[in-house]
Amino acid sequence: MHFELTILGSNGAIPAYDRHPTSHFLNYNGDGFLLDCGEGTQMQMARYNIKRGRLDHIFITHLHGDHFFGLMGLITSFNLNYREHTLHIHGPKGIEEIVRAHFTYAQTQLRYPIEFHIVTDDRPQVVYENSQLTVESIILRHRIPTTGYLFREKPGQRKILPEKIALHEIPVSEIGKIKQGADYTMPDGSVIANHDLTTDPAPARSYAFCTDTVYTETFLDQIQGVSVLYHEATFVNMHRERAAETMHSTTTEAATIALKANAGKLIVGHYSARYEDLAPLLAECKEVFTNTELAIEGQSYII
């Protein structure tokens, strides 16, 4: 299964140096998921050839503008492009009221339904699920209620060893059960253990999206072993006081979370507009967690 992240907006609150407010696009086997929708997201999608047709779920972390001011434009363009199928918006209390207020004043009647799913910040929970994925909320600590999101693949089926199936002349009707882990009983009553017929499925992959937040370990257990962790790193260490004041994280804090969570990879972003050169941020992260990459707009990362 294809599982790929594309960065649409990498910057913090103020756009700068052609870096845009936060938005991440996840492609899971052709299904699109948008994480935050800063101003200009629809233009960034066009710029990087993101297909909108299969985007049915948008997840908003919190109601600071740099995380959702692009939502109204995207919704409106969907409408003008004759979208008919439902759009699901997952986000904090208030998001529905803001969206509906716009349409009231614009006297717009949407051609397609929007379903709002309010995500609370009291405890982590599964906020969305389909046959292949679950999405859980992650409780973050910021100036207003904020939740991250954790995408997890559901465990795959065991992989059949075709030569063993042939050898034992196992009928096709049994394959489904064997993929799910069942042993096979031969016509003579002898039992062949599942692990002689199959190999382990590919490990389930996961992507955690943690922005905006101070350093907090409250969600470490939840994201333990995550394949790719995105954690905001708005400031370098020298500006740690500013980070505390605005309830953001430093490079070292983001990298420490990645280390303690045993993440496969860390991607950092939400850069303060004061940094034109991002190399120092990357260097500080790598001192703590080697496998760190910068979120770069237009760049894709295979999960």
Question: Which residues sit opposite 137 in a β-bridge?
Answer: 149
| Shorter beta-carbon distance to a copy of itself: residue 95 or 150 | 95
| Shorter beta-carbon distance to a copy of itself: residue 54 or 102 | 102
| Shorter beta-carbon distance to a copy of itself: residue 69 or 215 | 69
Binding to a copy of itself (CB under 8 A) within 117-146 occurs at: 143-144
Q: Which of 5, 8, 13, 281 binds a copy of itself (CB under 8 A)?
A: 13
Instruction: In whole angstroms, give the CA distance from residue 185 to residue 15.
Output: 64
**Residue 48 tokens, joined:** 């990087």
Helix, strand and coil content of the chain, in percent to the nearest 5, comes to: 25, 30, 45
Place of tokens 């779920």: 57
Minimum CB separation of residue 37 from a copy of itself in Å reads 11
Q: Does 110 participate in binding a copy of itself (rule CB under 8 A)?
A: no
**Residue 29 tokens, joined:** 């086997």
Q: Under 8 Å CB-to-CB from 236, ≥6 apart: which residues?
A: 250, 251, 275, 280, 281, 284
Minimum CB separation of residue 207 from a copy of itself in Å reads 26
DSSP letter at 226?
Answer: -
Backbone φ, ψ for residue 81 (5° rounding): -95, 15
CB 3 within 8 A of CB 300: no
| Shorter beta-carbon distance to a copy of itself: residue 3 or 12 | 12
| Shorter beta-carbon distance to a copy of itself: residue 63 or 161 | 63
Q: Does 40 participate in binding a copy of itself (rule CB under 8 A)?
A: yes
Give Rg (Cα) of the chain.
Answer: 22
Binding mask 64-103 for a copy of itself (x = CB under 8 A): xxx--xx-xx--xx--xx------------xx-xx--xx-
Q: Under 8 Å CB-to-CB from 153, ≥6 apart: which residues?
A: 1, 3, 132, 133, 204, 205, 206
Question: Which residues sit opposite 231 in a β-bridge?
Answer: 210, 268
Per the residue annotation, which of 36, 66, 121, 212 is the catalytic one? 66
Q: Which of 20, 57, 90, 158 binds a copy of itself (CB under 8 A)?
A: 20
Minimum CB separation of residue 163 from a copy of itself in Å reads 54
Catalytic residue check, 66: yes
Instruction: Count the site residues for a copy of itself by CB under 8 A.
Output: 37
Minimum CB separation of residue 234 from a copy of itself in Å reads 12
CB atoms within 10 A of CB 125: 11
Just list the catalytic residues: 66
Binding stretches for a copy of itself (CB under 8 A)? 13-16, 18, 20-21, 39-40, 42-43, 46-47, 63-66, 69-70, 72-73, 76-77, 80-81, 94-95, 97-98, 101-102, 104-107, 143-144
